[in-house]
Structure 1
Amino acid sequence: MDNDQGGHAGGRETGPRCIAIVGPFGSGKTTLLEAMLARTGAIARQGSVDQGSTVGDSSPEARAHAMSVEANVASTDYLGDRYTFIDCPGSVEFLSEANGALAGADLAIVVAEADEKKLPALQIILKSLEDRSVPHFLFINKIDKFHGSLRTLLKAVQPASGVPLVVRQIPIWKSGIATGFIDLALERAYVYKEHATSEVIDIPDEEQAREVEARFEMLEQIADYDDVLMEQLLEDINPEQDLVFTDLVHELQLGEICPVFIGSAQNANGIWRLLKALRHEAPGIASTRRRLGLGADAQNGSRLQVLKTYYTAHGGKLSVARVLSGRIAEGDTVTKPDGSQARISGMSDLLGMHATKRGSAGPGETVALAKLEGVLTGETVTADTKPAENLIALDAAEPVIALKVAPRERKDEVKLSTALQRAAEEDPSLRVAHSQDTGETLLEGQGEMHLRVVLERLEGKYGISAEAGAPTLPYKETIRQQTSVRGRHKKQSGGHGQFGDVVVEIKPLSRGEGFVFTDTITGGVVPKQYIPSVREGIRDYLREGPLGFPVVDVAVNLSDGSFHSVDSSDQAFRTAGQIAMREGMPACKPVLLEPMCRVEIFCPNDTTARINAIVSGRRGQLLGFDARPGWDGWDVVNAIMPEAEMQDLIIELRSATAGVATFSKAFDHLAEVTGKQADMVLRKHGNQAA
């Protein structure tokens, strides 16, 4: 723990803060949260991720996989101010968990480590913050295990950031190990003491020159936005500390710089100085209101921004919300953007999943509200009767993988549907869809682990055992040749019989034209009232053609037939239409069709060649690649790929790109499948190739 000496001015905002903790998977975010909670007295001792004893990652799924799988919320007090930290998952599969939290956060701490393999993942996070104009610190964690040059590391990291990385602390090295740090703004040195207060020391003589050089570089960076400071530097005037901090605070809050701090969350090194920086430099609710378009003052009535939704196993729904303005209390009614209302049936502070009841909350506070039915993550609600417009739009990433799901026991169908609906409400990046082609319920998400966690929750939280597997692909079939065929249905069994007789001409259509029915009946050989029944009989057949799949791009003309004045009926002619198609279609050389998708794959440009090889190896047609707009060092690969090759595509893409590639897809067209590929599909579906 670091000494709390050395406060500074800088026009700090006061009041409750909301701080998001983000960063690549494995960088130590949950450990950092644990260290800050321990340093501020919210918990008696710092827990361990490895031992499963942390406030964050307390769900069974997080414990089982030793990773964050949802945002975790914890509030604490520090030197008279209230802080709510939201620890967000780092895996690309769960990154969307941060979207809601960032909407109401004053600042984000980006936790990173000295691993260049994680730079693309870090870039994704930094760009997300920059796109949302969220001020942020960069905390280089695990400094105790770092043996390189901090300057070299940050030179490698800088391209991942759209704003200058401003080094605030440099390590003090002894025998290649970081034993402390020098705070460049305070011009003070600290020696680490493991799980104890850091010792303030004079800057060592051997570090003086390095400190002067590093401090001057920091001042040069912030002077780019301050002419007064630039003049002082040009005239070799050492600026007043207050001016330095004023510039640091101002430029941070405008998103012009990203200050860089160092430490070790596991050993609680650098934590106190980080908390001090949050206290003195992080923006507060007034700045966040401005960023969200509300204006700095609180003259907007009572506005709440919903940051996260939970469904607890026994307590029902909890909506974590930031009070942007006004005051709310238990029992108040809030108005949703659509004008409907919900009542706050309870209010609490969260420390992980431990809730402490409270009665009301004011501007800047982040609380959990019970049973706000119909209120979704990302929505802006108000205590007024007039609805407020949503301040943000949560654009969830497109799904990259899907599973078909069904309950093992039929009695659980309604329970499964309800549980899936709740899961999607907790996690907007999860989609539950119904396939019109196959009738299957589809669970669509951001990766294999993402969907695995959902299935584990279904069983653990809701007691539902579900069967899951690859979705049935919506193959179709069509024909290559035309034919003319008679279909006759005649049945006599006492009393009125059944009689329908039709002649139809079947021919192929161009791809995408669907089904066309016409008739050229003359002389009433098939009475007009029976023609629609013939069409319906043909439609009945087309649901499953000779190869066993729905038939598309076929034209059928009813050209001739006959009827019986007593025995003919709608049903008889409908059956005759089915018979004609069943007898004629095999002669039309049916062919299998598979759906083809237009795909955009987003990847770091040093992996593009590997991505191209993956696409080609999956029967894909490469259309080319180009630089990804707005993403330094990234490409977008365009291709046409069979949907049959895309079920586990994301797994191979992520494996080739250190876990960061993603893609979007859209149906493009149906293409013929022939040869061994067609034989394999037909065998799988229990058919023989025509």
Structure 2
Amino acid sequence: MNEKVMKATRNVAVVGPYLSGKTTLLESLLFVTGAISRKGNVKDGNTVGDSSTEARDRTMSVEVSTASTEYQGINFTFVDCPGSIEFIQETYNALIGVDAAIVVCEPVCDRVLTLAPLFKFLDDWEIPHLVFINKMDRANNNFMDVLHALKTVSSRPLIPHQYPIGQGENLIGFIDLVTEQAYHYHAGAPADPIPLPEELREQEHTARQEMLEELANLDDHLLEELLEEIEPPVEEILQDIKMELGADLIVPVFLGVADQDYGVRPLLEALLREAPEPETTAEHRGIVLHEDAPLAQVIKTYYTPQGGKLSLVRVWKGTLTDGIVLNNVRAGGLYRLMGQQPMSVQEAQAGSIVALGRLEGIHTGDTLTTAGKQLATELPKAEQLKPVYALAIAPEKRNDEVKLSSAITKLLEEDPSLAWEQHGDTHEVILWGQGEIHLQVALDRLRRKYNLPMTTHLPQVPYKETIRKPAASVHGRYKHQSGGHGQFGDVYLDIKPLERGQGFNFDEKIVGGVVPRQYIPGVEVGVREYLAHGPLGFPVVDVAVTLTNGSYHTVDSSEQAFKNAARLAMQSGMSQCQPTLLEPIISVKVCAPNEYTSKVLQLLTGRRGQILGYDRKVDWVGWDQVSAFLPQAEMHDFIVELRSLTMGVGFFSWQPDHLQEVPDKLAEKVLATTSNGNGKTNGNGNH
């Protein structure tokens, strides 16, 4: 089906914590605007959003999903974003391409903290956003209490746009605080205007004054009117809200029950009136609109079973057409998406969010132009989150190993918050992500999309070993006779420990040619080969070896013979040097609301962490950052426990720092495990 994308557009992200009802709200928005004739249900797995198999299996959003609809002559593109913190990179990547966001939350004061990272991102990027308090029929707290709780996690003032009307514990309507008109909800139909209930007049007046006072803080004329007790016109209030929302200076608050369509129409009306137009957003981002050359940005990449690669893009200026060449790559198809259903379109004008087919070599966040790959200015992209949770993976079938690299590359294109490595010490393929569910979704995709079922286990800890004392004149002689030329090499080595972090050093002090020059490189090779697998079974570091003496045979000696002699000398000498086990220590910076700082400190010390200090987190009101050293063996499920302690909002960054001796009792446990099994240990030193 060919269809021209409409010019009058609003691009709106639907965001919020897990279980707040985002996908249900999207379904209601599509139903109310006539885009769908029947609403789906998350539990039944038939919603427009959450249309992927991985999402439906878990009844939760695991990737960005888009849907378009028309309302009062405006084309709305809604971007449904995952709520789980493990998929927050998807949300951040998509948010940079929208004009506004609806932050969906529940009316529970104790859970508003879960919104803090989202509000922080929106305000850092100055993305206009409003709040929709969903599930008001199950409110655990008073509306104004919820509103005041929400203010504690937002750096922008929240202003109530509505006030709820209840009957017992049921929500039956609302009062528009701008017009002071009350409305009564009806299932499946617009709300009817009713007289303002007398018993709510005082509460409504208080809420309205709060709204007007917040607006007056940003508008001197409105402030004068309030001081002179002049009732401001409705049009002036609405114009103020539109201006301040468009500049991300205020956050209007709405309420409703998405699964009954309560409050959805007023929300749509507000988006029509108050959300910024695409041109305003582009100008706010510093994009020069009078230039004709197309400019777009990729906000999500999909690999679909039918159509191959699809790049979801925000068109910032110009017009895209099917077959257009962007960054020297020809697009193969232009589509508007409805969940996972692509609908072909002829062109996409500035302000549209559409999908382009087969943009090979183009990644999420890339800026697209017709000017080729060299761009004068790259559009800013969301910061890439560092992975915090890992699993070692291997194909169930050995023959599939050749397909793994290609499949993982596509997996990472779809989800840039994943990472993978082929570990040099443990020889494992390690898949990194943002949490356990995140990696399970990735593994599901490998199985379903690429027919690559995987086995998994906890990654081995890359232990090392070193020595505590030196050994002098360690002798190694290799002599072998098997007809013809024999093999003969004879060396004396001094072995001594180095300071931590100095690695390996080889030297020679041969006098009088007792070991000919051409054989000395073989001695070093033999030493290095031995150090790859020391007496405890791990690579040896921080050791110096010096060749001091030896002898040779004019016929039977060779570089290979001296290599073998060096290995024998090392094997004999290292056991005399008190080998000891070393573990990698990582430097971590753990961030959490300051009410949880004491729990974070306990969590770190309970995992053998060394606290280096803590302070306020810069630009995060009410948050602390704790710096510490943490053994890598204690890292595996650290993020799981940290989120459990901090309502899901705590996070940390890390980097390798140094090696440190393993405590004796733990070292015994690690060594017992490796000697009794196949040499593999997990994050805790256990199989």
Q: TM-score range by the shorter chain?
A: over 0.9
Instruction: Write the mapping of 1:654-673 to structure 2, written as runs, cut at 5 A.
Output: 654-673=643-662
Question: 1:347 and 2:334 equivalent?
Answer: yes
Look up the SS of the partner of 1:74 in the other structure. strand
How far did residue 213 of structure 1 move?
Answer: 2.8
Question: For residues 462 and 314 of structure 1, what CA distance do their matches in structure 2 show?
Answer: 13
Instruction: Write the mapping of 1:633-652 to structure 2, written as runs, cut at 5 A.
Output: 633-652=622-641
Q: Which residue in 2 is equivalent to 1:363? A: 350
Q: What is the percent sequence identity of the aligned residues?
A: 48
Instruction: Write the mapping of 1:64-213 to structure 2, written as runs, cut at 5 A.
Output: 64-213=57-206
| Contact 1:135-1:253 at 8 Å conserved across structures | yes
Question: Counterpart of 1:579 in structure 2: which amino acid?
Answer: L
Which residue of 322, 325, 346 maps to 1:330? 322
- Give deviations 1:531-554, integer Å, cap 9, x for gaps: 111111100100000000000000
Which residue of 512, 515, 520 maps to 2:509? 520
Question: 1:495 and 2:495 equivalent?
Answer: no
Q: Which residue in 2 is equivalent to 1:316? A: 308
| Contact 1:303-1:380 at 8 Å conserved across structures | yes
| Contact 1:62-1:69 at 8 Å conserved across structures | yes
- Give deviations 1:42-90, integer Å, cap 9, x for gaps: 1111111122121111111111111111111111111111111111111
Instruction: Write the mapping of 1:167-566 to structure 2, written as runs, cut at 5 A.
Output: 167-295=160-288, 297-299=289-291, 301-335=293-327, 341-385=328-372, 387-388=374-375, 389-484=377-472, 485-566=474-555
Which range moves more in the overlay, 631-640 or 125-134? Answer: 631-640
How far did residue 687 of structure 1 move?
Answer: 6.6
How far did residue 115 of structure 1 move?
Answer: 2.0
Question: For residues 110 and 417 of structure 2, what CA distance do their matches in structure 1 show?
Answer: 26
Question: For residues 674 and 566 of structure 1, what CA distance do their matches in structure 2 show?
Answer: 50
Look up the SS of the partner of 1:198 in the other structure. strand
Question: Counterpart of 1:655 in structure 2: which amino acid?
Answer: S
| Contact 1:401-1:448 at 8 Å conserved across structures | yes
Look up the SS of the partner of 1:301 in the other structure. coil
- Give deviations 1:254-300, integer Å, cap 9, x for gaps: 111001011111110010110111111111211221232213x3425
How far did residue 433 of structure 1 move?
Answer: 1.8
Question: For residues 352 and 605 of structure 2, what CA distance do their matches in structure 1 show?
Answer: 53
Aligned-residue RMSD, C-alpha: 1.6
Question: Counterpart of 1:448 in structure 2: which amino acid?
Answer: E
Classify 1:252/1:597 alpha carbon distance in 2 versus 1 (closer, same or farther; 3 Å). same
Which range moves more in the overlay, 303-312 or 657-666? Answer: 657-666
| Contact 2:465-2:582 at 8 Å conserved across structures | yes
Instruction: Write the mapping of 1:28-47 to structure 2, written as runs, cut at 5 A.
Output: 28-47=21-40
| Contact 2:312-2:354 at 8 Å conserved across structures | yes
Question: Counterpart of 1:72 in structure 2: which amino acid?
Answer: S
Segments of 5+ residues of structure 1 without an aligned counterpart are 1-12, 336-340
| Contact 2:107-2:140 at 8 Å conserved across structures | no
| Contact 1:185-1:215 at 8 Å conserved across structures | yes
| Contact 1:328-1:383 at 8 Å conserved across structures | no
Question: For residues 373 and 623 of structure 2, what CA distance do their matches in structure 1 show?
Answer: 45
Question: Counterpart of 1:623 in structure 2: which amino acid?
Answer: L
Question: For residues 292 and 615 of structure 2, what CA distance do their matches in structure 1 show?
Answer: 45
Question: For residues 593 and 330 of structure 1, what CA distance do their matches in structure 2 show?
Answer: 58
How far did residue 212 of structure 1 move?
Answer: 2.8
How far did residue 479 of structure 1 move?
Answer: 0.5
Look up the SS of the partner of 2:368 in the other structure. strand
Q: Which residue in 2 is equivalent to 1:627? A: 616
Question: For residues 372 and 454 of structure 2, what CA distance do their matches in structure 1 show?
Answer: 42
How far did residue 214 of structure 1 move?
Answer: 2.1
| Contact 1:592-1:678 at 8 Å conserved across structures | yes
| Contact 1:477-1:547 at 8 Å conserved across structures | yes
Question: For residues 292 and 154 of structure 2, what CA distance do their matches in structure 1 show?
Answer: 34
How far did residue 14 of structure 1 move?
Answer: 7.7
Question: Counterpart of 1:384 in structure 2: which amino acid?
Answer: A
